[in-house]
Amino acid sequence: DLDITLTSPAGTAVTLTTDNGAGNDNVFNGTLWDDDANPAGTVPYTTNNGLVTDNAYVNLTLASPLVPEEAMGAFIGENPNGTWTITISDDLAGDGGSLDSWSLGVTTFASAPTATVVPTVTQSTPTAIPTGPAVVTSTVVVSGAGTSILDVDLTTAITHTFAADLDITLTSPAGTAVTLTTDNGAGNDNVFNGTVWDDDANPGGTVPYTTNNGLVTDQAYVNLTTATPLVPEEAFGAFVGEDPNGTWTITISDDLAGDGGSLDSWSLNIDTFTCASSDLSVTKTDGVASATPGGTTTYTIVVSNAGPSPANPATLADTFPAACSSVSYTSVAAGGATGNTAAGAGNINDTALNLPAGSSVTYTAICSIGAGATGTLDNTATASSGTPDPVPGNNSATDSDTLTPGVDLSLTKALTTLGSIPVGSNAVFALTATNNGPSNATGVTVTDTLPAGLTYVSNDCGASFASPTVTWNIGALAAAASVTCNLTVTVTQGGTIVNTASISSGQTDPTPGNNTGSGSVTGQQSAVEVPTLGGFGLALLALLMAASAAFFLRRRRQA
């Protein structure tokens, strides 16, 4: 009793069944309606389970899955969003029932596939159709087509009296058999002489109806009048996705005696498709394995589209790590790419890239590395698009550099006390430690071993003293920073005394020649006083000298 149609939001109506199932009860209670439900079933056959018009129904037994009476392939390419409607007509009295529930399973593409029309393939050699029962076949070969079927249309030039004698199937190279007609056309002659068989032949026709022209099972046939176009009894949608290349076979069964005819010619019109896909890839490098905090590193980032489809819009995003204290970048497009930011600062986030197949955008980004950065400098750039990507593994790239601090320490030592220093007096040396960068320094230490002639007194920087060495543990010293320590010593000897100190840290210093500083001090001895004689002493001295002279003269005379 049931006639059922399904109508899409676009208004296309597809007949699921009209007057099938005979007098059996509840045979559609759980039925899955699917164009692919019956991939086999080449004529001749008496029943063909899986095809709603030819299924062998059993009372109170679910018939599932079933190919609907009209192809749901008619919905291909439509927007599925919106209201879908199922319409049920019970066209006879005496029995009723309930539509307890129903559901739709819809598969969509992210974007429309690219269709390619295959040149028409024709078999023009006639094949006689004897009076039945008889079975004949005819073949054509498709070559050079794409590898995925989107749509199949078949044109037949059949002359035959009493069309209802004919059962016809079309078999693809993959072996899928689709029924065009079984026992349709009544006693009319030549109604399939020029018929175009097409899943899309009848977009209208919501139940209830008595006849539905364009649907092979419900067409109002007229003798000697070609019925065209017609939706086949089984959906050509069963071929979708198959490779069309190879041998196609049409099989015609004349299942009754008395009438014959001829398959004069037939042809196939096939559309193939490729899903839109864009193989985006990203490369990123700064050409080095290590970077210096306080310096810069320059990244080259390239986003490319290997196709085959354009990626529009596409996004290139690069969030730079905190170690990059500032970033500036430029970009250059090639191969027709557009939408890139020519110059900018900070993170890269180009969300409106248009990348045709074969195009690319190259970014040059300069990262200023913080002087105190440590560890590893990791930076990742990622490309994305709404177009499916067949190779998603190359959509991002990461560059990793080991951060190796570089510090140029220098030390100066100067005497702050002017002139010579008397022995026993104090002198003050100013030791100045400087980090010329580019990185922050840690573990900075100044060591000053006092030479002979200098004795430690004190310092104003918390340095320790273990005779004869003064140790000044500075610790961390930022790039471009300086600190000074005043060291007081006592000069304990005369002459020039040279005092040298050195500086070191936990980092490698590329210019060690300025890691020492020397200062000198001149020690001055005090003057020695010579005693003097008074008047009495001088007289006594003169008397002694006269006596000595008289003594020497007497000796000479005696000699």
Rounded mean pLDDT for each run of 10 residues along the chain, 559 residues in total: 98 98 97 96 96 98 98 96 98 96 92 89 98 95 96 98 97 98 97 98 95 97 98 98 98 95 98 91 97 96 95 96 96 97 97 97 97 94 93 96 94 90 95 94 96 96 96 95 96 95 92 94 71 62 64 58
Contact by Cβ (8 Å): 376, 401: yes
Question: 142-165 burial string, b = 16+ CB within 10 Å, else e?
Answer: beebbebbbbbbbbbbbbbbbbbb
At 77, list the tokens: 């390419």
pTM score > 0.75 for this model? no
Is the bond into 203 cis (omega within 30 degrees of 0)? Answer: no
Tell how far CA 349 is from the center of its chain.
14
What letter represents residue 456's amino acid? Y
Phi/psi for 326 (5° steps) reads -155, 150
At 227, list the tokens: 């019925």
What are the CA-CA distances from residue 463 to residues 102, 212, 410, 474 (Å)? 87, 105, 18, 9
CA distance 183 to 340: 63
Per-residue confidence (pLDDT) for residue 528, from 0 to 100: 45
Reduced to 3 DSSP states, what percent helix, strand and coil does the chain have, rounded to the nearest 5? 5, 45, 45
Identify the structural domains of the chain with CATH numbers, from first to last: 114-274 (2.60.120.260), 278-403 (2.60.40.1530), 407-524 (2.60.40.1510)
Per-residue confidence (pLDDT) for residue 275, from 0 to 100: 84
Contact by Cβ (8 Å): 43, 170: no
Per-residue confidence (pLDDT) for residue 529, from 0 to 100: 46
Instruction: Give the N- to C-terminal CA distance of the chain in Å, as an integer.
Output: 183
3-class SS at 53? coil
Per-residue confidence (pLDDT) for residue 118, from 0 to 100: 96
Phi/psi for 537 (5° steps) reads -65, -40
Residues 6+ apart with CB under 8 A from 256: 132, 133, 162, 165
At 429, list the tokens: 């040396």
